[in-house]
Chains A and B, each alone.
Chain A
Amino acid sequence: MISIQEFLKNVNTGHVVRSSVPMGLGKSLPMLDIADDRLLVTLFFYRSILRPEDKTLLMPPEIIASFEYPGARLVTFETLALSRRFTGVDFRKPAGLFRHEAIRHLDREAYMAEKERYYEKLNALIAYLGGGEAFTQQDEDELARLFTMLAEPGLYPYYRAACPQFCERFLRK
């Protein structure tokens, strides 16, 4: 079974991203979902405007997509600007800043290390879902801590909209 890191690489280089996601959009932290007994990885794609001194503007996401794990087959694709449930969002206005408060103390290496830890926890959860080793309470708390810390608060509503079950479980207030 491939790791989530490899999976994301496949998604990044896959035809869906190349053909349907505009260039320059970054992807969110991956979230897991289960539908029809299939494991899905949900991501959203958003634009960021680089600014110095931790004032990089995060624009509202433009696309939410789910891919089947591990084959990376596209299952759902939603363009937020055309979706009724996001009619109240002004996509021209930034939704948040990077780096946010929770990761301000981390330098680039430390941030990447935390992200890697998050991926490893996702791998552990994927293994558990497939019938592998137990996913303990400690693992769950650690995954929640990493997700809550790494996800940008300004984008919380979009994380919740993209993958409610996962956020219900792992996005701690």
Chain B
Amino acid sequence: MFLKNKDFFAKPARVGPKAPGDQPDRVPEENHTAEPDGQKTETATMVQLRVQDEQLQRDMAFLDACSRETGRPEMHKQLSELRDYLKNARFTVAVVGEFNRGKSTLVNKLLGQDVIPVSALPSTLLPIRVEGGHRDELIWKKPGGETHYPLKPETWDTLEEEIGWDGKAKGELVLRQTLPVLQQNELALLDTPGTNSQVKGDLSMAEEALSGCDCAILTIAAVAPVSESELRFLQEGILTKKVPRILVVLTKLDLLSEKERELVIRNVQARLDSLQEGLPLYLSQSGLVPGWEEKAGPKAIWDQLTAWLRESDHTYLKCQRAHGLLSEMAEELRGLYACQLEVLEEKKEARREKVEEKKRQLLGNSHIQWDQLEIEMLNRCNQNFTWIREMTEERQQDVIEKLTLELSHTNNPKDWWEKDYPYRMKMEMIALGNALESNLQSFYTRDLGWLNHVLQEKYKAIVPPQNQRMADKGVFRGARSQAELSLEDMHNTRLISRVGTGVVTVAGYLLFGMMGLSPLGMAVGIGGGIVSELFMNRRVEEQRARLGQTIRTELPGVFSRCVETVEKNVRETYRDAIGNMQKACQNWANAQCEAMEKARQQGEDPTKAQAIRQKVEKLAAMIQD
């Protein structure tokens, strides 16, 4: 089809009236009303925590002030979450895991009745906190307030519609139940959305839930035991959050045969043992595997939870976790203050020199590190070139073999050369382009991931990925020039030859017939036909050989041109990443230099140094060994 308006998609979309509900992907998160709540919660926390925890409150207030002074708002948020965690007197058990691992089912089993709906699709859209109450009720606690719902079966459908599947909804659902098990124990169960569902933000919901819980139950389905993502979530999402108690529960064992069950349990146990964290493994159903009676079924899990709940060191562990987190913050703040102090303690002139020296040193060291990063990135880029060369050479050989084989079967090389060959080449080049693009993008993502990991650690910066196509579509899909060869149309030639042979045969028959030698006339005709066929075949063979030779000569050039373009694009992409890295690093260095300069200017005030010194000492005292 001939396109007159082929630039339609290339032009930017015209701005028209917005469709209903046409909103940005993610609405900005509403600010938490931390201040007024913070006031209220602090009082409540102090009443509930033990005497020595008043010190914890003072430490938190001090760190809060320091974080504001040093411009660390994220620390303020962490402290606010920590306050909430300490305020919560209930022993909170967060049930986490990937989608469809039986989290909600496990919560229902633990409570002895179906309080949360379960389905094959990710049905838990927000964390659901199940806790004891004087009456059955469902509350959606949102940043802007809370909504109460009557607890009826259809309420869940209404809620599902209100919350939506787009991941924009925030907050937590609180399900209050009059169940004796919940009322007798100061315990709350927190069901979380699957960590790998396709709804954005579900992972962060699970992680937030973990930062405010006393115990985490990680559910692993026996049908897909301990995937790499589960193991990574366990290591990075749970263990690094310093959750005081962790329990791993293997679910869906009934879907396996008896023989497989033991094998899976052994495998899961081995993977957990390899983490060397002493994580206890439980089975969600009892009576399925012999030898596991004590650690199987909801009752066994519940017994373990209540045992932990009643242990005297429960509050101690909670405080210890808080101390651990405060210690990390204190260490970070001390580093910042120590840097300032170092500058302040120098005399004015010496200080100036020192600052300049430190700046030079910082920039010098940074430049060396940046150069190393640049060299490493270029090395990685060069490795891509090696791969591209190897890959395309291999592909080139395959294509040559394929085309030569196809050519060897054609009876009319001219037709094949003019019609089939360009199409075949185009398809091959598109396939090559796609293969190159797919692999190069994954190499680039891997290399950028490495670079960002280093930058994050050293310079608290990241380089955004370039959304750039490396195997340029135009190069691989575009029309290609092909050698002009004067080939004979063998189809026509063969036709003419056959007609000629026929005429000779008839003429020979008639001529020799008059002499009474008609068989001889026939023989001459047939002989002529055979000779001409042999001659034709030889001509075809010659043309095939000629085309084969042309393909062998032409193809490396075509591949080479494409590869050169791809290499150029790859180099540009990596260069862009390096350029962005240098910018980000330079910004970091400038910020450091500015901080030093500011500290030097403030150094005139002797009380300032004294105040910072005191802060450093206080922070040092808060740091745990």
Contact = CB atoms under 8 A, between A and B. Distances in A.
B417 interface: no
Interface stretch (B6-14, B177-185, B282-290): B6-14
A39 B4 CA distance: 11
B166 to A, nearest CB: 7
Interface in B394-451: 430, 434, 438-439, 441-442
Contacts of B119: 55
B6 A34 contact: yes
Contact of A172 (B22, B120, B434): B22
Given A36-B478, A101-B161, A141-B17, A1 B1 contact: yes
A69 B4 contact: no
A58 B438 CA distance: 26
Contact of A35 (B5, B198, B473): B473
Interface in A141-159: 141, 144-145, 148, 153-154, 157
Contacts of A76: 430, 434
A154 B478 contact: no
B19 interface: yes
A172 B19 contact: yes
A23 to B, nearest CB: 23
A153 B9 contact: no
A154 B22 CA distance: 17
Contacts of A137: 14, 16
B313 to A, nearest CB: 40
B5 A131 contact: yes
Contacts of A130: 1-5
Interface in A51-72: 55, 57, 69-70
A12 to B, nearest CB: 20
Interface in B11-45: 13-14, 16-19, 22-25
Interface string A70-89: 10000010000001110000
Interface in A83-134: 83-85, 90, 93-97, 101, 125, 128-131
B140 interface: no
B16 A140 contact: yes
A34 B477 contact: no
A34 B6 CA distance: 7
Q: Is the interface of A mostly helix, strand, loop or mixed?
A: mixed
A93 B438 CA distance: 24
A37 B13 contact: no
B8 A154 contact: no
A97 B121 contact: yes
A154 B3 contact: no
Contact of A93 (B24, B99, B430): B99
Given A83-B438, A101-B164, A173-B25, A144 B6 contact: no
A145 B18 CA distance: 10
B13 A168 contact: yes
A6 B477 CA distance: 28
Interface residues of A, number: 45
Nearest to A1: B1
B24 A57 contact: no
Nearest to A127: B5
Given A141-B17, A172-B19, A131 B120 contact: no
A57 B121 contact: yes
Contact of B438 (A37, A84, A138): A84
Nearest to B427: A75
Contacts of B14: 137, 140
B196 to A, nearest CB: 8
B428 to A, nearest CB: 14
B100 interface: yes
Which of B25, B164, B165, B198 has the largest number of chain A CB atoms within 10 A?
B198
A77 B346 CA distance: 70
B19 A144 contact: yes
Interface in B328-386: none
Nearest to B164: A101
A57 B120 contact: yes
A154 to B, nearest CB: 7
A34 B8 CA distance: 9
Interface string B153-170: 000000001001110000
Contacts of A97: 121
Interface string A31-49: 0011111110000000000
A148 B161 contact: no
Contact of B1 (A39, A85, A96, A135): A39
Given A34-B8, A93-B100, A165-B9, A157 B198 contact: yes
6 contacts: A38-B3, A101-B161, A129-B5, A137-B16, A154-B198, A169-B13
Given A125-B8, A129-B4, A141-B16, 12 more contacts: A34-B6, A35-B477, A39-B1, A57-B121, A84-B438, A129-B3, A130-B2, A131-B3, A137-B14, A153-B166, A154-B198, A172-B18
